[in-house]
Amino acid sequence: MFFSNFVMGRLGRDPAFFDHVEGSLAEHVARQLRHAGVDLDPADNPYLHWILKGDHGAALPLARRAEHFDTIRSRLDRLDLRCGALEAFVATGEKADGFNLSDIFEYMDADIFAGVYGSVLGAANPGARPVYWNMMVPRRAPAAYADRVERLVVVEDTGKAQDKAFFYSDFVVEQLR
């Protein structure tokens, strides 16, 4: 019952987020929870720990593990993180080499998705990688832009097999040609 559209809309996400979803949210979450609890080792899952216990415990996310500290520190100069509305960045005329877009596309109808996707490509350098997740609404490069990007299937498959964020149904990695 907790993962029904009604309850998730009241206690979790805005009910409008489910406007483009087909199928049952509860069934989707049940499948994904089974994957996290059976196919993956739940003791190693920082997201599952956080959801169930309110902290990561010993299952730290990769970026918080001591063995990755020096690598991250040595590459900080490569990052220019921008938190905020995607439209604000796109409007600056700047270009980026990568986009971590979580699951924003599924909250849009297909026409708006195509327009926003096109604006992301317009703000991307050649070779840039848009990376995004789909929770319940499958989104991939719209037909109008499919010839401008290449799916990095091996990267996607490797990421999916290791992804501890079990609540997503798809992980998409593309690269501009």
Select the highest-mean-pLDDT range: 1-5, 45-49, 81-85: 45-49
Going by pLDDT thresholds of 50, 70 and 90, the confidence category of residue 77 is very high
The proportion of the chain whose per-residue pLDDT surpasses 70, expressed as a percent, equals: 88
Measured CA to CA, the distance from residue 127 to residue 150 in angstroms comes to 10
Alpha carbon of residue 136 to chain centroid: 12
